[in-house]
Amino acid sequence: MTLPETAMISAGNAELKSIQSILNAANFAAGKHAPQKRKGAAAEPYINHLIEVAHLVSSGLTEPDTNLIIAALLHDVIEDCDVTKDELTKRFGSDVANLVMEVTDDKSLPKRERKRLQVVNASKISARAQVIKLADKISNVRSISSSPPADWSLERQREYLEWAGQVVNNLSVPNPVLKAEFDNTYTRFNSERQDS
Ligand code: ZN
């Protein structure tokens, strides 16, 4: 079936609008995270992590969800850059702001407690927020695997991996594509570290 020309134009416009709003979020995140590097020895620009997470999220989708990809790009902007929920709501709408809030730790709590709460809350956040959470953990485990922070012992790397595994295993509706990728990354980490 061919669509009437007007329908094709509006479908095309919706696609263009979606691409524009994703790039707008990428641009905003790049600006806010500009001074930040990843913790690994390679010290990659932090935006690499955000683009990787957004790409992973998009690979797990079976239908378009522009706001989820935008939220993936912005998932660390409140935690790391002191951007407020209000600002995100104004710029990107309440759906995006709520998704980002769901994956934002309460920084007033001690680190240990924040990590414990991530495990406990993994099953309580929305299915869409769980996709971001899972993609974030894949990106972090990949990074620790390929470029661990210089001052992290093997034991500390393993502890991180263990904790990330607990968070992922507590997700109530893990995205199947991303869960398989997490499991691969996890297994690869362990076999590489055994060889060395
Ligand atoms: Zn992150």
pLDDT reading at 195 higher than 60: no
SS3 string of 105-157? CCCCCCHHHHHHHHHHHCCCCCHHHHHHHHHHHHHHHHHHHHCCCCCCCHHHH
pLDDT of residue 196: 52
In a 13 Å sphere around the CA of 45, the CA atoms on its Cβ side amount to 10
Q: Which band of pLDDT confidence, cut at 50, 70 and 90, is reported for residue 69? A: very high
Ligand 1 center–CA 20 separation, angstroms? 22
Query: pLDDT (tens digit, 9 = 90+) per residue, 100-132?
Result: 999 999 989 999 999 999 999 999 999 999 999
Ligand 1 center–CA 6 separation, angstroms? 41
pLDDT of residue 191: 85
Ligand 1 center–CA 138 separation, angstroms? 10
Q: How many angstroms separate the CA atoms of 115 and 129, rounded? A: 17
Task: Give pTM, 2 decimals.
Answer: 0.92
pLDDT reading at 8 higher than 90: no
Q: From residue 60, how far is each of 55, 64, 74, 144 by CA, in Å?
A: 9, 10, 18, 22
* Residue from 80, 87, 105, 183 carrying the catalytic annotation: 80
Residue 105 designated active-site: no
Residue 136 designated active-site: no
Q: Which band of pLDDT confidence, cut at 50, 70 and 90, is reported for residue 36? A: very high
* Residue from 52, 76, 79, 95 carrying the catalytic annotation: 79
